[in-house]
Structure 1
Amino acid sequence: MVLLGNDEFLMELSKLFQKARSSGSVTMTMKRYDGRTKPEPRDGTPVVKNPEFKCLVRAQSRSKKISTVIEQRDVEKFTTAYSNLLKTSVNGLKRLKKPKKKAMAAQ
């Protein structure tokens, strides 16, 4: 898994969307991240005191995996850029056909 900066992640994500447009899919996951890279010791002493929570974002398409960590101060900037990327990249979705409802027979 490749850890990228926020802007690099968005550029690579747009490339993943372009590759997956014809066939394939892109899987995205987001979760809270406190900056720890090692598990807490069993005696209960915290490794990181007063952590500033971050957001870990991962994307996967076929065998390519990318990820980024978003700081609290950059969340708004990242989400606006991410939403703009989604608006431009997800425009080719197929419409779902709604099943026709049968008319109720007069009783």
Structure 2
Amino acid sequence: MELTRLFQKCGLSGSVYFTLKKCDGRTKPTPRKGSVEGVEPSDNKCLLRAKDGKKKISTVVSSKEVNKFQMAYSNLLRADMDGLKKRDKKSKSKKSKAAQ
């Protein structure tokens, strides 16, 4: 829901930056020296961050919920990508003929 609000707020002007990275669920970094004494993560997770110029939102998605999240995210992108410029087909065809 917050991501939907962020896309609507940016509207036609502005950008939303979206990052995705692997997350093991730890809140503290692992020490460089010595053995690692801790619980090994049993489930791989993804950390997702979205931000515009001012507001930042983030969430963690488990591997079991990735498909559900991707479907919801793709539907959100399809609904909110109305500010894109249309491609000019005439200029592209002229460039390809000139290259031949």
Q: TM-score range by the shorter chain?
A: 0.7 to 0.9
In structure 1, C-alpha distance between the alignment counterparts of 2:39 and 2:96, rounded to whole Å:
61
User: Does residue 75 of the first structure (1) align with residue 69 of the second (2)?
Assistant: no
Structure whose residues are more often helix by fraction: 2
User: Does residue 36 of the first structure (1) align with residue 3 of the second (2)?
Assistant: no
Secondary structure in 1 matching 2:95: coil
Shift of 1:50: 4.3
Q: Which runs of 5+ in 2 are unaligned?
A: none
Q: Is the 8 A contact 1:35 1:51 kept in 2?
A: no
Q: Give the structure 2 partner of residue 27 of structure 1.
A: 17
Q: Is the 8 A contact 2:48 2:60 kept in 1?
A: yes
Over the residues paired in the alignment, what is the CA RMSD in angstroms? Answer: 1.9
Query: Structure 1 vs Structure 2: percent identity of aligned residues?
Result: 49
Number of aligned residue pairs: 94
In structure 1, C-alpha distance between the alignment counterparts of 2:96 and 2:29, rounded to whole Å:
58
Distance 1:103 1:80, change over 3 A: closer
Give the TM-score taking structure 1 as reference length.
Answer: 0.76
In structure 2, C-alpha distance between the alignment counterparts of 1:96 and 1:27, rounded to whole Å:
22
Q: Give the structure 2 partner of residue 13 of structure 1.
A: 3
Shift of 1:14: 1.0
User: Does residue 65 of the first structure (1) align with residue 65 of the second (2)?
Assistant: no
